[in-house]
């Protein structure tokens, strides 16, 4: 049986991306087959499709680090034919064929059941970005932060992780400062619950080891000078959940915030997070996230437009999440 997929072929130095027809006999190893209903385009997918970073570890590769769909075949004890499932991370779309295709074959250990609160489309409107945002919020909560402790800063607030993080924190009662390089998104960010909008330029240049104590907590998707300045401006015993490197992998900071103010920096990995933490995150999303906001957070892109949309995402022209209907 043939199925449609976004296929990256060639080599790291000379890759070609196309919409291809692939034989199901070529699917990689796995004990669960899934008919993909919806997938997404994440920042990592855009890097892979555009070739801006070595995301694809071998060729050919089908990108798509997450998907939601229906099990069509399973030899895994936890899943049966007809089950609705979600996959986020685990190297899918990097080392293992991913979700931007009509069919996927994966390890059942990588799947989580679709929460009854969500449709497959809603699950992908949340996707890896929203699941990562929830992991960040959970880290701040487990640190002991409460709304009365003060403002929470969210960088990259108009992007996938940031927009969901703003919505989650606001729903939990926190006052949120949303950082963005796109001032035209201020109305959108306030509709998600942000109380203050901050220009990204204020955090993007080299700063002092310690700045005025401003934020009780933060969620950072940027890294580099942005993360360094965020840490410098934390209140005593504040916490930062870092989950991205959009501004760079470097961290030009000092130990001052950590040893003079007791600031904690939490590294958030969503790719290889254990299943127990994934289940907790998706359960919390079902409890906390205002589903009515998902439409404003989401741009739907047709399968045939995925390659072009990946380029737009890399150029910073996309708000929130991109959902791709595969065979809804």
Domain ranges of the chain: 2-114+294-325, 126-267
Q: Which tens digit of pLDDT belongs to each residue from 191-221? A: 999 999 999 999 999 999 999 999 999 999 9
Task: Round to whole Å and give the CA distance between 246 and 287.
Answer: 29
Q: Does the structural domain 126-267 have CATH classification 3.20.20.70?
A: no
Predicted local confidence at residue 296, as pLDDT: 86
Cβ-contact 284, 134 below 8 angstroms: yes
The hierarchical CATH code for the domain 2-114+294-325 is 3.90.180.10
Predicted local confidence at residue 328, as pLDDT: 56
Write out residues in the chain with pLDDT < 70, as ranges. 328
Q: Which tens digit of pLDDT belongs to each residue from 76-101? A: 999 999 999 999 999 999 999 999 99
Q: What is the CA radius of gyration of the chain?
A: 20
Strand pairing report for 66-74 and 32-40? antiparallel
Q: What single DSSP character describes residue 18?
A: E
Determine how many CB atoms are found less than 10 A away from the CB of residue 181.
Answer: 15
Q: Which of 98, 26, 120, 37 minimizes the C-alpha distance to 72?
A: 37
pTM of the model: 0.91
């Amino acid at each position: 049986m043939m199925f449609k997929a976004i296929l990256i072929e060639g080599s790291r130095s000379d890759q070609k991306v196309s919409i291809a027809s692939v034989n199901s006999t070529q699917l990689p190893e796995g004990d669960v087959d899934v008919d993909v209903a919806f997938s997404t385009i994440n920042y990592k997918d855009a890097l892979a499709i555009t070739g801006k970073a070595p995301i694809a570890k071998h060729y050919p590769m089908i990108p798509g680090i997450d998907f939601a769909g229906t099990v069509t075949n399973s030899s895994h004890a936890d899943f049966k034919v007809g089950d609705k499932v979600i996959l986020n991370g685990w190297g899918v779309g990097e080392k293992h064929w991913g979700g931007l295709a009509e069919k996927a074959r994966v390890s059942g250990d990588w799947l989580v059941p679709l929460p009854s609160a969500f449709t497959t489309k809603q699950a992908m409107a949340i996707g890896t970005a929203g699941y990562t945002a929830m992991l960040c919020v959970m880290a701040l909560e487990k640190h002991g932060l409460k709304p009365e402790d003060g403002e929470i800063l969210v960088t990259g607030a108009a992007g996938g992780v940031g927009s969901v993080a703003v919505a989650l924190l606001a729903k939990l009662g926190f006052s949120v400062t949303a950082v963005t390089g796109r001032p035209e998104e201020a109305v959108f960010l306030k509709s998600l619950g942000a109380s203050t909008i901050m220009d990204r330029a204020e955090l993007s240049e080299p700063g002092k080891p310690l700045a005025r104590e401003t934020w009780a907590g933060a969620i950072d998707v940027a890294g580099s000078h942005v993360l360094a300045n965020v840490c410098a401006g934390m209140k005593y015993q504040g916490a930062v959940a870092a989950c991205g490197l959009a501004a760079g992998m470097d961290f030009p900071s000092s130990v001052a915030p950590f040893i003079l103010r007791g600031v904690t920096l939490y590294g958030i990995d969503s790719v290889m997070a254990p299943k127990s933490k994934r289940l907790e995150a998706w359960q919390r999303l079902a409890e906390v996230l205002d589903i009515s906001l998902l439409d404003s957070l989401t741009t739907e892109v047709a399968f045939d437009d995925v390659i072009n949309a990946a380029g737009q995402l890399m150029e910073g022209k996309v708000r929130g999440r991109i959902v791709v209907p595969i065979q809804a």
